[in-house]
């Protein structure tokens, strides 16, 4: 017997999860725009509802188009399973839902998107959960923040907005020592540039709205399960290791083994939270992923050229791009993101807040939007928009101070983008 072929990323991004439609032979994955599925008989229906058989019941839980996307993302990230949902914020809640309970906490990075900081600092309090914010450049501080009530560690591979790179292996070591999972948001890097599971992450989350889809058409999120965490090693995770009353005492860890978290995400998370990804959005994302590596290569090429040019501009005080040789994260970039640091970074302007606002308003090719990871180049002044609800201290800790502008470099002609930036900087400095 020969071993199964080990396909490369470019092949998997097209073929993983994709099979000719058994009914029609359609080569592209169809959009299964249906609410429900006919059961073979009463026995078949009962087996599905008892989790004794895998299949399709109701599209809040499972859908063939979404299932294909889940298989593709699990394959690309090196996980055993994945659960897609309605947005990146939904994915963060879905990742925490089986782990948390009233009075419990999660240790999270200070370098998060402003909406995520609000979700962790404010919204999860309504569940009785809490978050401790720590600078993940200080792993001793991360370890010190973990207590008996901590149930997860959460960080980003490449931070939004600054493009800072987290030492995932070091964070995994801290989480492992505490017997808790490490959750890594891999939105900005994508599995093409970084595979957190290879560096010790337990779960990987994405806002699929960004680079995975890549064309600014849909919102979506995903939680990818490494299948490597032993949920029964302690009594910290009863949702996975103790009998589940809703399924007649079934224990997810015992019944599903490495796929325990994935099955819980569908059978409990999607069933009760209802954060469902619609099949048309899944279809758009599947098509986007087919060109992921090609797009990420161009994002990186353009970002490297533009960041180097900006670093030498008289109006620019600092550039945070980890792909620059001068970056303090250059070593981590080489180790964790050898194909490049992505297309996201910030610049600080010497003339401060007013110059930032004028700069954003003067750009012509760059679109002023609250998004990133599009084929188009995007810009936003985070302090007055995405991070506006934060305190000045939180903004600075997140890398979104008043003098900072976030750039998401697209796949246009780099010379055109540089020319656009040059004329806008001239106007901002006038």
* Within-domain flag for 375: yes
Nearest-angstrom CA–CA distance, 266 and 179? 24
Q: At residue 1, does pLDDT exceed 50?
A: no
Reported as a single tens digit per residue, the pLDDT across 345-364 is 999 999 999 999 999 999 99
Query: Which pLDDT score is estimated for 32?
Result: 96
Cβ atoms 80, 70 nearer than 8 A: no
Nearest-angstrom CA–CA distance, 182 and 153? 5
Counting every residue written for the chain, the total comes to 430
What's CA 37's distance to the chain center, in Å?
31
The verdict on 266 and 171 lying in the same domain is yes
Phi, psi of 399 (to 5 degrees): 85, 25
Cβ atoms 426, 154 nearer than 8 A: no
Query: Which pLDDT score is estimated for 430?
Result: 83
Nearest-angstrom CA–CA distance, 196 and 185? 9
**400 pLDDT band (50/70/90 cuts)?**
confident
Last residue of a domain, one of 231, 258, 288: 288
**243 pLDDT band (50/70/90 cuts)?**
very high
Q: Domain count of the chain?
A: 2
Q: At residue 5, does pLDDT exceed 90?
A: no
The verdict on 307 and 168 lying in the same domain is no
CATH no. for residue 387?
3.90.1150.10
Name the nearest CA neighbour of 335 among 167, 158, 191.
Answer: 167
* Within-domain flag for 1: no
Mean pLDDT of 70-96: 98
Last residue of a domain, one of 272, 288, 304: 288
Query: Which pLDDT score is estimated for 144?
Result: 98
Claim: this prediction has a pTM higher than 0.85: yes
* Within-domain flag for 331: yes
The verdict on 236 and 151 lying in the same domain is yes
The verdict on 275 and 337 lying in the same domain is no
Query: Which pLDDT score is estimated for 2?
Result: 45
- In terms of residue numbers, what domain contains 414? 292-429
The verdict on 267 and 303 lying in the same domain is no
Q: At residue 177, does pLDDT exceed 70?
A: yes
* Within-domain flag for 346: yes
The verdict on 314 and 411 lying in the same domain is yes
More confident residue, 159 or 398: 159
The verdict on 253 and 336 lying in the same domain is no
Query: Which pLDDT score is estimated for 145?
Result: 98
**385 pLDDT band (50/70/90 cuts)?**
confident
* Within-domain flag for 373: yes
CATH no. for residue 267?
3.40.640.10
Last residue of a domain, one of 288, 322, 340: 288
**427 pLDDT band (50/70/90 cuts)?**
very high
Least confident interval from 38-52, 192-206, 314-328, 385-399: 385-399
Query: Which pLDDT score is estimated for 330?
Result: 95
The verdict on 214 and 264 lying in the same domain is yes
* Within-domain flag for 251: yes
The verdict on 361 and 254 lying in the same domain is no
Q: At residue 4, does pLDDT exceed 70?
A: no
Mean pLDDT of 283-301: 98
Least confident interval from 8-17, 202-211, 317-326, 387-396: 387-396
**162 pLDDT band (50/70/90 cuts)?**
confident
Max avg pLDDT among 52-56, 108-112, 147-151, 161-165: 147-151
The verdict on 359 and 270 lying in the same domain is no
* Within-domain flag for 3: no
Q: Which residues, in sequence order, are bridge partners of residue 347?
A: 319, 405
The verdict on 268 and 309 lying in the same domain is no
Query: Which pLDDT score is estimated for 3?
Result: 60
Mean pLDDT of 131-160: 97
Mean pLDDT of 25-36: 94
* Within-domain flag for 4: no
Q: At residue 382, does pLDDT exceed 90?
A: no
The verdict on 327 and 233 lying in the same domain is no
**392 pLDDT band (50/70/90 cuts)?**
confident
More confident residue, 383 or 160: 160
Mean pLDDT of 301-316: 97
Cβ atoms 341, 157 nearer than 8 A: no
């Amino acid at each position: 017997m020969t071993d199964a072929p080990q396909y490369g990323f470019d092949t998997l991004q097209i073929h993983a999860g994709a099979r000719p439609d058994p009914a029609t032979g359609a080569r592209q994955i169809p959009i299964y725009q249906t609410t429900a599925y006919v059961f073979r008989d009463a026995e078949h229906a009962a087996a599905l509802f008892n989790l004794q058989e895998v299949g399709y019941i109701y599209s809040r839980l499972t859908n063939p188009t979404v299932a294909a996307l889940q298989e593709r993302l699990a394959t690309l990230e090196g996980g055993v399973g994945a659960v897609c949902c309605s947005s990146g914020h939904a994915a963060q809640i879905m990742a925490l839902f089986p782990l948390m309970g009233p009075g419990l906490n999660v240790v999270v990075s200070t370098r998060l998107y402003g909406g995520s900081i609000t979700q962790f600092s404010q919204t999860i309090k309504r569940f009785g959960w809490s978050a401790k914010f720590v600078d993940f450049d200080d792993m001793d501080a991360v370890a010190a923040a973990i207590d008996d009530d901590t149930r997860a560690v959460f960080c980003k591979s490449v931070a939004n907005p600054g493009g800072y790179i987290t030492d995932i292996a070091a964070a995994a070591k801290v989480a492992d020592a505490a017997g808790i999972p490490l959750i890594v948001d891999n939105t900005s890097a994508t599995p093409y540039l970084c595979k957190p599971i290879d560096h010790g992450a337990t779960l990987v989350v994405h806002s699929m709205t960004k680079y995975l889809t890549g064309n600014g058409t849909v919102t979506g999120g995903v939680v990818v399960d490494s299948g490597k965490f032993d949920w029964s090693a302690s009594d910290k995770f009863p949702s996975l290791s103790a009998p589940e009353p809703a399924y007649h005492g079934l224990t997810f860890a015992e019944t599903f083994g490495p796929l325990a978290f994935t099955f819980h995400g569908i059978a409990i998370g999607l069933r009760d939270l209802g954060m469902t990804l619609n099949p048309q959005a899944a279809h758009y994302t599947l098509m986007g992923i087919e060109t992921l590596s090609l797009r990420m290569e161009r994002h990186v090429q353009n970002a490297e050229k533009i960041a180097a040019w900006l670093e030498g501009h008289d109006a620019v005080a600092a550039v945070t791009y980890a792909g620059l040789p001068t970056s303090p994260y250059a070593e981590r970039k080489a180790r964790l993101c050898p194909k490049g640091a992505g297309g996201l970074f910030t610049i600080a302007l010497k003339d401060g807040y007013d110059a930032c606002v004028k700069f954003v308003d003067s750009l012509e090719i760059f679109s002023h939007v609250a998004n990133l990871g599009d084929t188009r180049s995007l810009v936003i002044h985070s302090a007055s928009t995405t991070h506006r609800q934060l305190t000045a201290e939180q903004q600075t800790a997140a890398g979104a101070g008043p003098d900072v502008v976030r750039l998401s470099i697209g796949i246009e002609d780099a010379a055109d983008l540089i020319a656009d930036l040059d004329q806008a900087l001239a106007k901002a400095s006038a």
